[in-house]
């Protein structure tokens, strides 16, 4: 080794500084986020339902994912800057305070609850036509946000379930009663349940400046699998976020009914699903349009709730199509509800 080092040393010495500079560009993270096109994931690879197993489905229904890089390196920033498909902006809001790991936790929790929302909506829709199908679910409260001043910050994880609070008037398990039961003291004992199903108690103290605990909760309906029919399994996903809701719902519904709503088409799209079957807005529209275009989909569903709203996803998609020189005719389909998407697909069969 010494011989080679001796021989190469003049070159090595010359290149040390440029080499270190290159490594700095490649490794040092900057406070930006970068959205880039991703790909399609067939819902069948994520959710399997033990029902209609002999039914043949000729087309595919896929969710669309994008790549969301938080704190890219200088090098990624530069590469992304010159790509027409990417969007780069400064990391702002609460996300600026979160680590990349925490942002991932939120994203995976969103995915988890979106799958349950899809199951609920699809099962309810299918149960209208087939009484054999039964869906049962419960409302749960989850940790969705943590302020920097939250006491015992590291003990609580995103997605942990709120069980109860030892409040001024005794044990409280409803979110509506938390404020009224935490008026007299500064510190209260909260009980949470972590992802392993273990309960733990943590004392939270109000911040002196804001008089708040610094924790945000969100409610979600979670399927009770024991009393739901048919049985289903959900694979572990490496893709987070709630934006696959609408397409998951369509695919699950297709698994439950006897007809094939795909008509042999490559169907994709985006949009969250609400429990009433309405579709919600998503981010990264430009990248999702690019992903759909690059993957040559036949139908792409996109939320369209208000044409006059500048950030309406369908309006954004039309702008993205213009920017990327893509013709939206025939494949870009605006929808406001799960039923709109179903009606469109049923119309294709006429």
Choose the stretch contacting other proteins; rule: CB under 8 A; options: 71-79, 171-179, 188-196, 269-277.
Answer: 71-79
Check binding of 131 to other proteins (CB under 8 A). no
- Kindly indicate which of the ranges 166-174, 290-298, 302-310, 328-336 contains the residues binding other proteins, using the contact rule CB under 8 A: 290-298
Task: Mark the segment that binds other proteins (CB under 8 A) among 161-169, 225-233, 237-245, 260-268.
Answer: 237-245
Binding test (CB under 8 A) with other proteins, winner from 27, 96, 201, 324: 27
Angle between helices 245-256 and 338-348 (to 10 degrees): 60
Q: Which is nearer to other proteins, 68 or 133 (CB)?
A: 68
Among 9, 28, 83, 324, binds other proteins (CB under 8 A): 83
| Segment near other proteins (CB under 8 A); pick from 192-200, 236-244, 247-255, 340-348 | 236-244
The residues with which 139 forms a beta bridge, in sequence order, are: 221
Tell me how many degrees the CA angle 55-341-315 measures, rounded to the nearest 5. 145
Q: Any contact of residue 46 with other proteins (CB under 8 A)?
A: yes
* Residue 73 engages other proteins in binding (rule: CB under 8 A): yes
Q: Angle 307-309-311 (CA atoms, 0-180°, nearest 5)?
A: 110
Identify which of residues 47 and 215 has a Cβ nearer to other proteins in the complex: 47
Question: Which of 111, 95, 109 shows the shortest CA–CA distance to 218?
Answer: 109
Which listed residue (62, 114, 118, 237) binds other proteins by CB under 8 A? 237
Give the nearer residue to other proteins in terms of CB position, either 136 or 323: 323
Q: Does 235 bind other proteins (CB under 8 A)?
A: yes
Q: Cβ distance 136 to 85 under 8 Å?
A: no
Q: Which residues pair with 140 in a beta bridge?
A: 220
Task: Tell me: does residue 320 bind other proteins (CB under 8 A).
Answer: no
CB of 67 to other proteins, least distance (A): 5
Helix extents (H) in the chain: 2-27, 74-81, 100-127, 245-256, 285-294, 313-323, 338-348
Cα–Cα nearest to 142, from 120, 154, 157, 121: 157
Token pair listed for 332: 């870009």
Q: Does 305 bind other proteins (CB under 8 A)?
A: no
Determine the distance from the C-alpha atom of residue 36 to the mean position of all C-alpha atoms in its chain, rounded to a whole number.
Answer: 15
CA distance 345 to 325: 26
DSSP, residue by residue, 238-305: S--SSTTHHHHHHHHHHHHSSS-TTTT-EEEE--EE-TTSBEE--S-HHHHHHHHHHTT-SEEEEE-S
Return the residue of 128, 211, 236, 329 that touches other proteins, per CB under 8 A.
Answer: 236
Asked if residue 80 binds other proteins (CB under 8 A), the reply is yes
Contact yes or no for 162/141 (Cβ under 8 A): yes
CB of 170 to other proteins, least distance (A): 45
From 60, 62, 70, 86, residue interacting with other proteins (rule: CB under 8 A):
86
The answer to the question of residue 101 lying near other proteins (CB under 8 A) is no
Burial 240-269 (b: 16+ CB within 10 A, else e): bbbbbbbbbbbbbbbbbbeeebbeebbbbb
Site for other proteins in 180-209 (CB under 8 A): none
Nearest to 51 by CA among 188, 230, 266: 230
Identified binder of other proteins from the candidate list 128, 131, 211, 238, rule CB under 8 A = 238
Name the site residues for other proteins (rule: CB under 8 A): 1, 3-8, 19, 22-23, 26-27, 34, 36-39, 41, 45-46, 67, 69, 72-73, 75-76, 79-80, 83, 86, 235-239, 290-291, 294-295
């Amino acid at each position: 080794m010494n011989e080679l080092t001796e021989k190469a040393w003049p070159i090595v010495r010359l290149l040390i500084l440029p080499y270190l500079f290159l490594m700095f560009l490649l490794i040092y993270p900057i406070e930006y986020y970068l959205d880039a096109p991703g790909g399609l994931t067939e819902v069948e690879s994520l959710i399997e339902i033990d029902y209609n197993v002999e039914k043949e489905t000729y087309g595919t229904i896929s969710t669309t994912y994008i790549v969301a890089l938080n704190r890219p390196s200088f090098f990624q920033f530069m590469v992304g800057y010159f790509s027409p498909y990417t969007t780069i902006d400064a990391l702002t809001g609460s996300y600026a305070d979160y680590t990349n790991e925490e942002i991932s936790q939120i994203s995976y929790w969103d995915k988890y609850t979106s799958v349950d929302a899809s199951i609920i909506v699809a099962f309810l829709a299918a149960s209208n036509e087939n009484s054999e199908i039964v869906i049962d679910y419960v409302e749960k409260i989850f940790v969705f946000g943590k302020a920097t001043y939250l006491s015992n910050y590291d003990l609580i994880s995103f997605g942990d379930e709120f069980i109860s609070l030892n409040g001024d008037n005794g044990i409280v398990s409803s979110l509506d009663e938390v404020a009224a039961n935490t008026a007299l003291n500064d510190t209260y004992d909260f009980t949470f349940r972590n992802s392993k199903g273990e309960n733990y108690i943590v004392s939270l103290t109000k911040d002196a400046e804001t008089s708040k605990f610094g924790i945000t909760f969100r409610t979600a309906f979670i399927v009770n699998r024991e009393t739901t029919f048919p049985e289903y399994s959900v694979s572990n996903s490496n893709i987070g976020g709630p934006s696959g809701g609408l397409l998951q719902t369509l695919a699950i519904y297709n698994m439950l009914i006897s007809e094939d709503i795909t008509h042999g088409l490559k169907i994709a799209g985006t949009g969250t699903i609400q429990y009433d079957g309405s579709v919600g807005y998503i981010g990264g529209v430009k990248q999702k349009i690019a992903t759909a275009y690059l993957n040559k989909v036949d139908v792409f569903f996109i939320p369209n709730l208000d044409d006059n709203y500048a950030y309406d996803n369908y309006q954004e998609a039309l702008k993205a199509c213009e920017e990327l020189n893509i013709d939206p005719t025939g494949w870009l389909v605006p929808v406001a509800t799960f039923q709109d998407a179903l009606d469109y697909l049923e119309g294709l069969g006429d």
